[in-house]
Amino acid sequence: MKLLSPSTSTTCYLSSSPSAFLPRHSHGFQNLGSAGTFKFSKKQRRCVRKAGPTEISAKFELKPPPYPMNALEPIMSQETFNYHWGKHHRAYVDNLNKQIEGTDLDGKSLEELIVIAYNKGDMLPSFNNAAQAWNHEFFWDSMKPGGGGKPSGDLLKLIERDFGSFEKFVDEFKTAAATQFGSGWAWLAYKENRLDVGNAINPLASDEDKKLVVVKTPNAVNPLVWGYYPLLTIDVWEHAYYLDYQNRRPDFISVFIDKLVSWEAVSSRLEQAKAIVAEKEREDERRRTEEEEKSTIRETPHEIFPDNDSD
Ligand SMILES: [Fe+2]
């Protein structure tokens, strides 16, 4: 934490210190890195201390994409970025900060806020701005200049295991993105092995556990609300493609897959998701073992040594 002023008006930076911020009921991985990777940490936020030790107002900041605004031309124009990042994304962040200032949600990480505000589908007013702020940052980091092609390594193996082939995955992802009615998103996500996600109803059955899944979501919804680990997303709101592709959403989806996806970012997110899940499983196992040991101790009858009158 960096304190910039000792006066009654203090600006500080909350560093991204590691935490156990995991997606059981609050979602621990987030997109802070320049390579589109997750950091298991609190969102970096600027906070302003006003006239007293207890009045702290945390502000989310608009992070720029990890490349220049013209770096994806001609596939995604600078004009699109000027509107999409400069106006739409900025508005989500600004409006969120206004909405949560002074409320119980002020001070939560963005992922915590999203899950709380999702509220089992009966969204609180701040949900849309919070989720859209997260989704857009994740989207920018899902792309890179000279992207596309085919993934490799464990990511490719899992894609082939869970979809049959990379080409079948591409078909499924394109179909999800093209058929999302109205505004929304399509996602590749890693689904953990649990159905109880606390603040939402898990839409996929348990036979999809520990698999890669493709899902589409309306408006601002993202897979964090179901406890999934997002790996890749495409924004299919019209503002994402209209300036460059008019109403030809399928063309935008194709060129996104062929020339923009950063498979390095997706691979990195997958590795981190698997690491989180593995650590949680180890923790669950430790907890189970402890419970069993306590239960064994409680159930073991104490030996009784009656007094022997003959002594
Ligand atoms: Fe967008």
Supply the pLDDT for residue 306. 56
β-pair partners for 26: 23
Ligand 1: centre distance to CA 49 (Å): 32
Residues in the chain: 311
Residue 46 predicted with pLDDT over 60 = no
Supply the pLDDT for residue 12. 30
**Ion ligand 1 residues within 5 Å by Cβ:** 235, 237, 240
Ligand 1: centre distance to CA 234 (Å): 9
Domain membership of residue 39 (yes or no) is no
Domain membership of residue 28 (yes or no) is no
- Residue pair 41/276 in contact (Cβ under 8 Å)? The answer is no
Domain membership of residue 302 (yes or no) is no
- Residue pair 78/90 in contact (Cβ under 8 Å)? The answer is no
Ligand 1: centre distance to CA 310 (Å): 90
Q: Provide the token pair at 20.
A: 């156990």
Supply the pLDDT for residue 302. 62
Which whole number is the average pLDDT over 229-252? 97
Domain membership of residue 217 (yes or no) is yes
Q: Provide the token pair at 227.
A: 């406890």
The CATH number linked to 217 is: 3.55.40.20
The residue ranking higher by pLDDT, 25 or 163, is 163
Ligand 1: centre distance to CA 3 (Å): 34
Angle at which helices 127-141 and 110-118 cross, to 10°: 130
Of 36-40, 52-56, 114-118, 281-285, minimum mean pLDDT range: 36-40
- Residue pair 29/229 in contact (Cβ under 8 Å)? The answer is yes
Which whole number is the average pLDDT over 238-243? 96
Confidence band for 229, pLDDT divided at 50, 70 and 90:
very high
Instruction: Write the CB contacts of 244 (distance below 8 Å, at least 6 apart in sequence).
Output: 75, 76, 77, 80, 252
Q: How many domains in the chain?
A: 1
Instruction: Write the CB contacts of 102 (distance below 8 Å, at least 6 apart in sequence).
Output: 57
pTM: 0.78
Q: What is the rounded distance in angstroms from the CA atom of residue 186 to the CA atom of residue 234?
A: 6
As a whole number, the mean pLDDT across the chain is 81
Confidence band for 36, pLDDT divided at 50, 70 and 90:
very low
Supply the pLDDT for residue 281. 85
Confidence band for 208, pLDDT divided at 50, 70 and 90:
low
Q: Provide the token pair at 118.
A: 């999702």
Q: What is the rounded distance in angstroms from the CA atom of residue 181 to the CA atom of residue 185?
A: 10
Which whole number is the average pLDDT over 64-70? 97
Ligand 1: centre distance to CA 242 (Å): 11
Ligand 1: centre distance to CA 275 (Å): 30
Residue 69 predicted with pLDDT over 60 = yes
Ligand 1: centre distance to CA 86 (Å): 11
Interval 83-121: pLDDT, tens? 999 999 999 999 999 999 999 999 999 999 999 999 988
Nearest to 277 by CA among 221, 199, 214, 211: 211
Which domain, by its residues, includes 185?
A: 78-270
Ligand 1: centre distance to CA 165 (Å): 29
Ligand 1: centre distance to CA 209 (Å): 29
